[in-house]
Structure formats: structure tokens, C-alpha cells
């Protein structure tokens, strides 16, 4: 539910040399486990993938979508996605353009294409059913350690430690008195956290610890007065000491970044594709996406995104549908032609866009 990027080998090596967290007192551990499970039973958010009948595939889709993305944005997109592609084979048969349109603005659109790669592997090698074994899940395209553990726990009820940053923060504060987890998960921490998972109701414990970190034991403004395990929290008992390393961290900038401009370019391509699809036959994807009649690609002349103002084809710009024109103007506002061209090339290299024979930029 929270994305963790791969650490460098140097960072991982440092993490593996870090000392193990302290062992938990058995009585305290049992009380914390019971409190988190009971709290989750009352406080769990009504997320669509938590409802009865959700398939393991639905759980996997929710985990991939939720990486670094608020649940309020994920929930409606997940519901539309599952209505269109309820099984891996359905997603495997979709066009990349449909997949990217359905992903919309969730961010990091490469995740959408990796999810489709995963669907193709599951359909081809696993008979359309996600494997139950955590190691086999980890071998699927786009599935990392956290996601494999989450599917094993939430979809198949396996006893395993599901360690996103929220869970690591809760466990670290309660049992080790640490304000924030280290950047990289060490083997020692993983073993330690695994020992904290109860033998019974372990799915509820994993989900509850994750929910507690997301809603109460937050990174910047923890609501300790509402925490069900406050009486047992080593960090609270120590006076909530600050983490000197965390104080030096800064939130990643967004305004003016290449990531923002890449997202704006992708919006142009989605709007262009959706406008063409809306004027023709309806597609089967969540957004009504469809390849253009005759197999022609739908896109926008790249020159409209990159040309200097003095050389801009104003007539071609005015001829675009309103949503496409607005998206093009936003790209021009955010970056100069050289930068836009460079990032468009990156999108093509990443498989998120293609260049047509007439100089247009399109969804794949």
C-alpha cells in the first residue's frame, strides 16, 4: 500500500550491518497485537478491495495502484479497472493505450504497463490464477518484496510480515522507540518484524498495523492521544524523541520537476486518444478507450508541444478538441521545447508513448 523503491547495493549493505531492534517483551507484544486487531475491526476504512469477494488478482491490483498514491484517488480507479479487467487474461488482452488511459493520473504510469506484463505472465504460466507462494509471487514482473508479502497475506491468509513504511514506523516506535524507520529494510529488521506477527489473526494484525500508520501513527503529526497502543509505545514513553536524520529530509519537490512535465505530456496523449475514441466506436476499457478506426494511432503533432511561440501553428492548435488544447498549453507553460522533446523521448524509450510517421506523439 505504500511503495518502496529499490535501495542501492551500498545502502542495502549498510542496512544489513545495522544492529537488530530489541526483542519485544512477550506480554507487551500480546497486548499490542490484541489492541491493533481490535482497533482495526472498528476503524478500518471501507476500501473496495477489502470487501468480500475480492480476488487475489484484485488485491494485487490494489497494491500496485496504492504505491505512493492516496487511497481516495485509488478507490474509484480500482473499481473501474476491475470492472473492465476482472481477470489477468482480460488485462493481458488489452492494448497498452487502453491500459494507460485507464491508469489516468495515478502517477508512475510504468506501473500500469508492468501490471499488464504481470497479467500476461499469470495468464500464460499460471493458468490465469496468481500463485500462492510468496517466492513465486516475487518472481512476477513488477512485484517486489512488499507486494508479494501483501498478496500472500491479504489474498491467501499466509502468516508473513507485510512491511510497508507505515507498518515499519508503527513497529519501530512501539517496540524500539525509533521515530522513523531507516531508508532501507534490513534483513535483521525483517526477521525482527516477522517475529512480531501473531500466529492467529495475522492478516488482521498486518492490515491493522498498516492502517494505524496511515491514519494515526503518521510520519509528521502522529495522533498519540487516539492511538490504541499508546500505553505500550516506547517512543511515546521516551517523550517522542526526534530523529536527527529525519529532520534533514525534505519532501520531494513536484512543481517544476521533470516528473510533473512528464505527467503533463502523458495527459496530452490520454486526452487526444480519448477524444478520438469518443468520436468513434466505444472501446472496452474503463475510459471508453479504443484504437482509432483502421488501426491508425491517435496523437498530437509533437511540434505543437515543442515549437517556439513564433513558429507555433496556431490554426492546428485551435483545431484541437478543448481538453487536448488545454493539455497542450499546459505542457508549453511548464517547459521549453528542448526539455519537452527530451522528456517525450524518455516516454518513448519507456514504452509509454510512440512517435507516428507524421510527427505525432501517441499512446502506444
Catalytic residues: 63
- Is the four-CA dihedral 52, 190, 23, 212 of positive or negative sign? negative
**Residue 211 contacts residue 40 (beta carbons within 8 Å):** yes
**DSSP of 26-85, one letter per residue?**
HHHHHHHHHHHHHHHHHH----GGGSTT--HHHHHHHHHHTTTS-HHHHHHHHHHHHHH-
As given in the structure block, the three cell numbers for residue 177 are 522507540
CA distance 265 to 223: 39
Q: What angle do CA 168, 204, 54 make, to 5 degrees?
A: 110
CA distance 327 to 321: 10
Which runs of consecutive H residues, i.e. helices, occur in 126-179? 134-138, 145-154, 165-171
CA distance 45 to 179: 25
Three-state secondary structure call for residue 251? coil
Residue count (the chain) = 364
CA distance 57 to 176: 35
CA distance 132 to 57: 11
Nearest to 353 by CA among 282, 260, 263, 256: 263
**Residue 180 contacts residue 16 (beta carbons within 8 Å):** no
CA distance 37 to 204: 6
Three-state secondary structure call for residue 360? strand
Three-state secondary structure call for residue 59? helix
CA distance 238 to 143: 38
CA distance 112 to 136: 20
Amino acid at each position: 500500500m505504500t511503495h518502496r523503491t529499490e535501495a542501492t547495493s551500498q545502502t542495502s549493505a549498510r542496512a544489513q550491518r545495522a544492529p537488530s531492534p530489541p526483542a519485544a517483551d512477550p506480554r507487551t507484544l500480546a497486548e499490542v497485537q490484541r489492541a491493533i486487531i481490535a482497533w482495526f475491526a472498528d476503524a478500518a476504512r471501507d476500501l473496495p478491495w477489502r470487501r468480500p469477494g475480492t480476488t487475489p488478482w484484485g488485491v494485487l491490483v490494489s497494491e500496485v495502484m496504492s504505491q505512493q498514491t492516496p487511497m481516495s484517488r485509488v478507490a474509484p480507479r480500482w473499481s473501474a479497472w476491475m470492472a473492465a479487467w476482472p481477470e489477468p487474461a482480460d488485462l493481458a488482452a488489452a492494448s497498452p493505450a487502453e491500459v494507460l488511459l485507464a491508469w489516468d493520473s495515478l502517477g508512475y504510469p510504468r506501473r500500469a504497463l508492468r501490471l499488464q506484463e504481470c497479467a500476461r505472465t499469470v495468464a500464460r504460466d499460471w493458468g490465469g490464477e496468481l500463485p500462492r507462494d510468496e517466492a513465486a509471487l516475487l518472481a512476477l514482473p513488477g512485484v517486489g518484496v512488499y507486494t508479494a508479502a501483501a498478496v500472500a497475506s491479504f489474498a491467501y491468509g499466509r502468516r508473513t510480515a507485510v512491511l510497508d513504511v507505515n507498518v515499519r514506523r508503527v513497529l519501530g516506535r512501539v517496540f524500539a522507540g525509533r521515530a522513523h524507520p531507516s531508508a532501507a529494510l534490513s534483513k535483521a529488521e525483517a526477521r525482527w518484524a516477522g517475529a512480531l506477527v501473531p500466529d492467529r489473526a495475522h492478516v488482521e494484525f498486518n492490515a491493522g498495523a498498516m492502517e494505524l500508520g496511515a491514519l494515526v501513527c503518521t510520519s509528521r503529526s502522529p495522533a498519540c492521544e487516539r492511538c490504541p497502543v499508546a500505553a505500550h509505545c516506547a517512543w511515546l514513553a521516551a517523550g517522542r524523541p526526534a530523529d536527527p536524520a529525519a529532520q534533514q529530509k525534505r519532501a520531494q519537490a513536484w512543481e517544476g520537476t521533470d516528473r510533473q512535465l512528464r505527467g503533463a505530456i502523458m495527459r496530452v496523449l490520454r486526452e487526444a486518444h480519448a477524444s478520438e475514441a469518443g468520436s468513434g466506436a466505444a472501446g472496452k476499457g474503463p475510459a471508453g478507450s479504443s484504437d482509432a478506426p483502421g488501426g491508425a494511432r491517435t496523437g498530437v503533432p509533437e511540434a505543437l508541444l515543442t515549437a517556439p511561440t513564433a513558429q507555433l501553428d496556431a490554426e492546428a492548435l485551435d483545431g484541437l478538441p478543448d481538453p487536448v488544447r488545454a493539455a497542450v498549453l499546459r505542457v508549453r507553460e511548464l517547459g521549453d521545447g528542448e526539455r519537452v522533446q527530451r522528456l517525450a523521448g524518455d516516454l518513448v524509450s519507456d514504452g509509454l508513448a510512440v512517435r507516428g510517421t507524421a510527427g505525432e506523439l501517441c499512446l502506444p
